[in-house]
Amino acid sequence: MNSIKFVRSKMAPLSMWCCHRIIAVTAGVYTPKLAPAQVSRLRLVSQYSTTQTRHNVGQGIVSKLKRANETYERFLQRHFPRFYVLYHAFKRGFRLLFQDVREVRRIKSGMLINNIDHQKLPYREMEKLRQFRRDMLKAIPLVIISAPPFANYLVFVLMYLFPRQLLIRHFWTPQQLVEFQGVYHAQRAHHHPELLSGLEKAAAGIKDVRLKTRLLELCSKVHSGAQPVVSDVHAVRTLFSGPPLGMRRMSTEQMSHLCPLLFLTSRLPAFWIGQRLNSHALELMQLDHAIVRLGLHQLNDMELKEACYVRGLNVQWLSPAQCLQWLSQWLQFSTHLKESETSLYLHSMMLLTVNYPKPPHS
């Protein structure tokens, strides 16, 4: 009995302390004096417990949403297969777009922190910035249309009906990418005869007989279906830095036929068209130098085809080896041009692409 009384006497203070501790925690009335180390340990345990609970709740919500999304996708794939293809393309497109946004932010932050000029960037970063800017400019009309309330339903219908005109490449299916590239190339190829005719008209006003003859021979070679070589184009380069074919000397009609080569609108004042053509040509010339610094063989097959396509070539039926061959010749030509010869650069996007690859009989 004495031992039991002794235990009770020892347990009483402990039970009283626990009672006071519970009251203090719940009511905020009493706080026992603890050592600093004990206080910090209690805080860490409390913070860890709260964070862990939130993490578990978040994981549960995410897993439920993921399962619901997978069920929804299986439902679409089973009952609405055509709509599922579009849904999958949109889902993939937003993921690629967000990746591009993060990548562009990283590139621009690096330029600012390291004080790097745009011309000194590696090729892939320069190309990323160029393509992202074009994508965002194309997306602006869609954003404006979707601004009014409940307009998102109309936007979805428009995107379904006019994917090439309204959507950027991220939201195209692989089949649409091939198809739309073919459509865009056909649009710019439609202006090749007019550009060639403009060169022949300009030749009539050239006083230097030797240069006039070489320009007419170049046009005749293209007309016959033969593929000009780099030396043929370099032989008339002086005509494209001054009159009659320099960027500030050529006719407005000729400039308007150059715009589709770069997928630019020609429905602008002449001085504005000239500025845009010149800036886009300079940008491509800088990209050409960046490819040389990187090394042509460092480009993968997709990058090769994209580089050729941007410079005027129809890559739909070309192999990677053919793209490599053409781009190698193009770089030999373009990297020797001066900034004042942007007109020659743009005209060569027609002269050096229209008959490539060479016809079998040539």
Distance CA 260, CA 262 (A): 5
- Band (150; pLDDT cuts 50, 70, 90): low
Longest dimension (CA), the chain: 131
pLDDT tens digit sequence for 218-242: 999 999 999 999 999 999 999 999 8
Closest to 191 measured CA to CA, from 83, 101, 268, 263 = 263
HSE of 317 in the Cβ direction (CA atoms, 13 Å)?
A: 3
Would you list the domain boundaries of the chain?
A: 89-168, 188-351
Distance CA 267, CA 127 (A): 26
Distance CA 238, CA 272 (A): 24
pTM of the entire predicted model: 0.77
Whether 183 has a pLDDT exceeding 80, the answer reads yes
- Band (50; pLDDT cuts 50, 70, 90): low
At residue 68, the pLDDT reads 74
Distance CA 129, CA 106 (A): 11
* Cis check: omega of the bond before 244, within 30 degrees of 0: yes
Cβ pair 221, 354 in contact under 8 A: no
Residue with the bigger pLDDT between 19 and 295: it is 295
Cβ pair 261, 188 in contact under 8 A: yes
Distance CA 167, CA 135 (A): 9
Distance CA 89, CA 126 (A): 26
Q: Which amino acid is at 23?
A: I
Distance CA 295, CA 146 (A): 43
Q: What is the mean pLDDT of residues 129-149?
A: 84
